Structure 1
Amino acid sequence: MASSVTPRTVSPRTPVVTVPGVYAPQDDTRLLAAALEREEIPPGADALDLCTGSGALALAAARRGAAVTAVDISRRAVWNTRLNALLARRRIRVRRGDLTAPLPPEHRFDLVVSNPPYVPTPNACTAGGRARAWNAGAGGRELLDRICDRVPAILRPGGRFLVVHSALCGPEETLLRLTSAGLDTAVSHRAHIPFGPVLHDRRDWLRARGLLAPWDESEELVIIRAVRT
């Protein structure tokens, strides 16, 4: 068993393990976890982690005293999140399904966080296996647009939504969709990171589409914060 899981750290308070086939916490997860740390979370607040992966963000919210629900379409991710909740001795409701589909229709949340797939993807790339955690269509918005359309309806008044994604897939579109749904929105954090293996392999394709300049060797990550007033 020790050889089949990988220990990772999102923050000093949130150790997790990842099993093969599940997205391991990386810079985007850590950036969103840091933003989550800055939020005021009353004890017992209802929190939702969409596209939970290893459950790192769900665990971070649970450690803050939130009542957390985590959702992922991947069976391995669901199992991995349950494993991390068990190891951390935290109660997290884990559901398998497509975004908000497995949730009760009437349920509303005080906080929603999401680190969805957002990497622009050539048609030649398959979406199966572990790559499903990052492949997001030609514009990188296959999941983002659906999340932006669904989240406003499940936020309570005063509820907050934190989402991380690459600047390559259009933060302006995310801001526009959430603002049009009645939320107060802003880019709350930005960070530049060196290309990882996926973007390194796709940089020629991204440059040909005009998404990267010839000199770009880093990716900008953004966190968008939206509040239902």
Structure 2
Amino acid sequence: MMLLRPPGVYPPQGDSALLARALIEELSARRAPGRAEVLELGTGSGAVAVVAAGMGARVTAVDVSWLALATAWINSRLRRRRVHLRHGDLGAPVRGRRFDLVVSNPPYVPARSAGAPGHGPERAWDAGPDGRLLLDRICRQAAGLLGPGGAVLLVQSSLAAPAATLDALAAAGLRPRIVARRRQPFGPVMSARAAWFEQQGLIPRGVRDEELVVIRGARPA
């Protein structure tokens, strides 16, 4: 998919593609994809939201970055897809609403800084020393954003402890499982931090690839 990808907005990559495929499978399994209410948390360029809208779903996309929202708006218009855009932090802009499907490709790259960057391109991937700064928050919010029988789809790296995501979703009352996997070499950001990852015990010495996983958490009907 050809999309506008300005500097400072996370461009669609392998994790975006893995999440989009899981989204397509999820919506295809539903009897009426066109009636599905989909929420994307951290839409970035809007790539995944556009895929959902292309399947007929009613899509709401949230991002804390105004530049990302502007990019998603342009990309949805270029593809002639309708996406409702909301500015804010994770589920705050849609508080009180319930969705059939919540999807997210949040920042998950372990970083030296304990807090989230306030600006700059690192804002799209830095997620604290364990990579879970946003993942844990989404896991806590997910159940409250889902209607009965709804599901959340999260994509993340093996460096950010998928087992912790499974446990957190289960603790929130959802039924979690891994539904997609992909192994890929480190990109520029991960490669630049590889020595630090080794020091932190996040990867064995000499390893320069990661496994991406999509984790599904289902709310009982």
TM bin, normalised by shorter chain, reads: over 0.9
Contact 2:39 2:59 in 1 (8 A): yes
Q: Calculate the aligned-residue CA RMSD, in Å.
A: 1.4
Q: Distance in 2 between matches of 1:71 and 1:90?
A: 16
Q: Distance in 2 between matches of 1:126 and 1:49?
A: 20
Q: Which residue of 2 aligns with 1:108?
A: 98
Q: Which residue of 2 aligns with 1:35?
A: 22
Q: Distance in 1 between matches of 2:173 and 2:114?
A: 37
1:13-162 matches, within 5 Å, as 15-39=2-26, 40-41=29-30, 42-103=33-94, 105-123=95-113, 127=117, 128-162=119-153
Opposite residue 111 of structure 1, the aligned amino acid is L
- Larger RCO (alpha carbons 8 Å, 6+ apart): 2
TM-score by length of 2: 0.94
Gaps of 5+ in 1: 1-8, 10-14
Opposite residue 34 of structure 1, the aligned amino acid is R
- Superposed displacement of residue 125, structure 1: 9.8
Q: Secondary structure at the match of 2:4?
A: strand
Q: Distance in 2 between matches of 1:54 and 1:64?
A: 18
Opposite residue 206 of structure 1, the aligned amino acid is F
Gaps of 5+ in 2: none
Q: Which residue of 2 aligns with 1:222?
A: 213
Aligned residues: 215
Contact 2:115 2:128 in 1 (8 A): no
Cα deviation 1:157-197 (Å, max 9, x = unaligned): 11011100011111111111111111111011111100000
Q: Tell me: CA distance 1:182–1:132, structure 2 relative to 1, closer, same or farther (3 Å).
A: same
Opposite residue 113 of structure 2, the aligned amino acid is N
Q: Secondary structure at the match of 1:102?
A: helix
Tell me the percent identity: 49
Q: Secondary structure at the match of 1:223?
A: strand
Q: Which residue of 2 aligns with 1:189?
A: 180
TM-score by length of 1: 0.91
- Superposed displacement of residue 78, structure 1: 0.5
Contact 2:38 2:99 in 1 (8 A): yes
Q: Distance in 1 between matches of 2:82 and 2:57?
A: 10
Contact 2:116 2:133 in 1 (8 A): no
Q: Distance in 2 between matches of 1:75 and 1:130?
A: 13
- Superposed displacement of residue 214, structure 1: 1.0
